[in-house]
Amino acid sequence: MKVYQTSEIRNIALLGNSRSGKTTLAESMLFHGGVISRRGSIEDKNTVSDYREIELERGNSIYSTVLYSEYNGIKYNIIDCPGFDDFVGEVVGALRVADAALMVVNAQNGVEVGTEIQWRWTKKTNIPTIFVVNQLDHEKANFDETTRQLKEEFGNNVTIIQYPVNAGAGFDAVIDLLQMKMLKFPVNGGKMIVEDIPANEAGKAADLQSILIENAAENEESLMEKFFEEGTLSEEEIIKGLKIGIRDRGIFPVVCCAAKTDQGIDRLMDFIKNNCPAPNEASRKTKNNKGAELNCNAAGPFSAFVFKTSIEQHVGEVTFFKIYAGEVTEAMDVVNGTNGSKERISQLLCIAGKNREKVEKTVAGDIVATIKMKSVPNQSTVNSTKNSDDVITPTEYPEPKFRTAVRAKNNTEDEKLGAVLNDIRKTDPTFLMEQSKELKQTIISGQGEQHLNIIKWIIENINKIEVEYYAPKIPYRETITKSAEAMYRHKKQSGGAGQFGEVHMLIEPYYEGMPNQTKYPIRGTESYDLPWGGKLVFNNCIVGGAIDARFMPAILKGIMEKMEEGPLTGSYARDIVVNIYDGKMHPVDSNEMAFKLAGRNAFKEAFKNAGPRILEPIYDVEVFVPSDNMGGVMTDLQGRRGIVMGMDSEGKFQTLRAKVPLAEMNKYSTSLSSLTSGRASYGMKYAEYQQVPSDVQSALLKAYEESQTDED
């Protein structure tokens, strides 16, 4: 493969609803570039993109697949993304390194749920977007209705560049409004034929071209002035305005194809070449930790960003990166700017699914892969030695929304399961795994129930470990609401030396800026930020040497042990001030163990008399919901003890913001999908701890008592 210069590279993300034909389109693009000699199909389970066992079984994409094609002097790096929202991490990662997105729309179905959801990500990431109306050869294809929906949903900047002459079973021609010609596409490939526009299409073509010209003129001041003066633009000026508009998201072109029958692909690839920004032309700029913009300049010191990691059978870990500056060669020594490790690029690979081609050198703007990197995880920055500590800003992925506990059915495989979950985490940034000491569970989190069901399939079918999902516990906290005093005497005699320690304490609820209690003089204060959140303030109020100072650390240790296993439900306790004001010692029998136990039990007694309350984690939940589903979604959230904090409108959608207890969010993604036919999406983020209602606290206490009885 030749070394492509930055201006000869186009980085494209393929987006769209599941079954819109993204993978089939990618197959045709590779076929046109000669990367494959024969087009595969989803039905035959032999596409380049969907080659993994889970994808072959399900018949749709689960992972993003990095591909490439070479056509008319351009290298196309293509990232075929899954269409389901549960795998949105693959979309976000692809949009981070692509310079344009092709939103593939099924001409039978028009704007679908996946179209809406992935459009929002193109908007959030500010990436140029082209609509590709696919499957125009299907008997139920309806281009006019599809474009009507596109304009209605995404605005009048949706601009038709091509429209089909005969959409449906006999599809073979489009009117191209840039060339003002009719393009005929032989079924199953072949050279495109260019003809004059038929007389019966001339009026429609002229009207649509007028809209195209006006939309193109709006993106550049001098073009707008000429348009106002002359009422039209030359073909060259249209192309100039179109290219600027695409780059700056002022125009969203609509082009046509039938990927399954290989029609319109060559014209699509030429359109991408002529109108989509090269990596050094993109309006989106990537910065490093020093504030420097990386403009994909091949002359600078090498810097690349790792956006994807996969583990391939017989190959191991494959690391994908986009070069943002400089160039890289095989056997080049590099430095991981994120962790300082030194690495060597053993091989440079251009990858198309399972197909891999070695290259000796690539330059800024290109997307390539390598293998056998020792310490370069996803989101790392890889640099030359000249800029070894530069770090490119990591990708911001959505927070997990669905959690469950997991365990191996055979507990002897727990350690093996942990290793597998860690490997999955390396390849999937939206998957989280935690071995919770507090909950005594392995908790995994992802983007939805389907996401975690796929994880389960992988564990059981690829790694051969039988697992079960079960309800995750909630990380409750315990605290107090009023002051209380208690004392405890620990006395034990067993033959020789005994144990003796007596502790008197006053405990109070802690809050920021609170005054010190005045009942007992404070002689020393220690404040601790607890690992699980909140504070413990430990005041020494001993006078007259009632307890020797050397025993105070033991008392504190006993208190801390009880805070790690709260008196109410065994949850962590927080936000408490402890004042040790009196006690007794024995000249022979007092020791650290005695005072630790005395402190622990005095704290337990005081806690129960201090208005103890259980706290629960509250999450900020933001739901993006169609306006006509708003009532049902709001009612459902209120039924989950949610408090609505506000709403904003965005076209036909509403953004609903609420605070909801984590305990009520179990399987919410499934419920929301059912309420809105999959059109809504949501995100959630930890906000704070709040007291649970009295009835909930009573239920929790009862459940804890029953669990303790069962264990006994």
Question: What integer is the mean pLDDT of 474-487?
Answer: 97
**Per-residue confidence at 187, pLDDT binned at 50, 70, 90?**
confident
The answer to which of 117-121, 221-225, 540-544 has the lowest mean pLDDT is 221-225
Higher pLDDT, 497 or 185: 185
Residue 228 lies in a domain: no
- Whether residue 288 has pLDDT greater than 90: no
203 within a domain of the structure (yes/no)? no
> Cα separation of 700 and 201, whole Å?
72
- Express each pLDDT in 3-15 by its tens digit: 999 999 999 999 9
C-alpha distance from residue 241 to each of 227, 244, 251, 275, 482 (Å): 11, 5, 9, 10, 69
Domain for residue 709, yes or no?
no
Q: In sequence order, what are the residues at sequence separation of 6 or more whose Cβ sits closer than 8 angstroms to the Cβ of residue 258?
A: 134, 135, 136, 137, 171, 185, 264
Is the same domain home to 25 and 49?
A: yes
**Percentage of the chain lying above the pLDDT 70 cut:** 99
CA atoms within 13 A on the CB side of 313: 6
The tokens describing 287, both together, are 């910065």
| Domain count of the fold of the chain | 5
- Quick: pLDDT tens for 381-399: 999 988 888 899 999 999 9
d(CA 276, CA 225): 24
Where is the domain boundary, 574, 604, 634?
604
Same domain, 102 and 132: yes
CA–CA distance, 569 with 703 (Å, rounded to integer)? 9
Phi, psi (degrees; rounded to nearest 5) at 482: -150, 170
**In a domain? residue 301:** yes
Q: Is the CB of residue 579 less than 8 Å from the CB of residue 541? A: yes
Query: What does the alpha-carbon distance between residue 246 and residue 130 come to, in Å, rounded to a whole number?
Result: 8
Give yes or no: residues 71 and 101 share one domain.
yes
In a domain, 110, yes or no: yes
Is there a contact between 330 and 345 (Cβ–Cβ < 8 Å)? yes
**Average pLDDT rounded to a whole number, residues 287-311:** 90
Q: Which of 549, 575, 604 is the last residue of a domain?
A: 604
- What's the pLDDT band for 290 if we cut at 50, 70, 90? confident
Predicted confidence at residue 295, as pLDDT, reads 87
pLDDT over 90 at 189, yes or no: no
The predicted-structure confidence for 207-216, as pLDDT tens digits, reads as follows 999 999 999 9
User: Does position 196 have pLDDT exceeding 80, yes or no?
Assistant: yes
- Residues 631, 183: Cα–Cα separation, whole Å: 48
Whether residue 711 is predicted with pLDDT greater than 60 in this model: the reply is: no
Q: Are residues 74 and 190 in the same domain?
A: yes
Give yes or no: residues 31 and 46 share one domain: yes
The phi-psi region of residue 493 (left if phi > 0; otherwise alpha if psi is between -120 and 50; otherwise beta) is beta
pLDDT at 710 over 70: no
Q: Using an 8 Å Cβ cutoff, are 438 and 572 in contact?
A: yes
Average pLDDT, the chain: 93
Based on the fold, state whether residues 270 and 147 are members of the same structural domain: yes
Determine the pLDDT at residue 659: 97
CA 240 – CA 635 distance, rounded (Å): 50
Strand partners, 318: 310, 371
pLDDT at 548: 94
Shared domain for 45 and 91, answered yes or no, is yes
Residue 457's domain comprises 402-473
pLDDT digit string, tens, across residues 331-357:
999 999 988 999 999 899 999 988 889
* 590 shares its domain with 621: no
Strand order in the sheet with 65-71: 65-71, 74-80, 9-16, 100-106, 129-134, 252-256, 158-160
Across 138-147, 169-178, 406-415, 648-657, least confident range? 648-657
Q: Are residues 633 and 562 in the same domain?
A: no
Question: What CATH number did the domain enclosing 454 receive?
Answer: 3.30.70.870
Cα→Cα distances 708→238, 560, 563, 613, Å: 76, 22, 18, 19
pTM: 0.89
Q: How confident is the model at residue 132 (pLDDT cuts 50, 70, 90)?
A: very high
- Is residue 294 scored above 70 in pLDDT? yes
pLDDT at 293 over 90: no
- Torsions phi, psi for 614 (to 5 deg): -95, 135
Q: Return the percentage of the chain with pLDDT > 90, whole number.
A: 80
Is residue 496 very low, low, confident or very high in pLDDT (cuts 50, 70, 90)?
A: low
Summarised one tens digit per residue, pLDDT across range 577-629 is 999 999 999 988 899 999 999 999 999 999 999 999 999 999 999 999 999 99
Q: Residue 13 has which token pair?
A: 């993300």
218 domain-assigned: no
pLDDT of 712 > 60? The answer is no
Q: Would you say residue 283 has pLDDT above 70?
A: yes
In whole angstroms, what is the distance from residue 391 CA to residue 469 CA?
38
Same-domain check for residues 420 and 553:
no
- In this predicted structure, the answer to whether residue 495 has a pLDDT above a threshold of 80 is no
The span from the CA of 368 to the CA of 330, in Å, is: 12
The answer on pLDDT for 636 being more than 70 is: yes
The last residue of a domain, from among 354, 387, 420: 387
Q: Tell whether 124 is covered by a domain.
A: yes
Could you give the angle at the alpha carbon of 633 between the alpha carbons of 105 and 617, nearest 5°? 110
User: Is 98's pLDDT higher than 70?
Assistant: yes
Residues 410 and 453 in one domain: yes
- One domain, residues 495 and 632: no
Kindly state the average pLDDT of the residues 569-575: 95
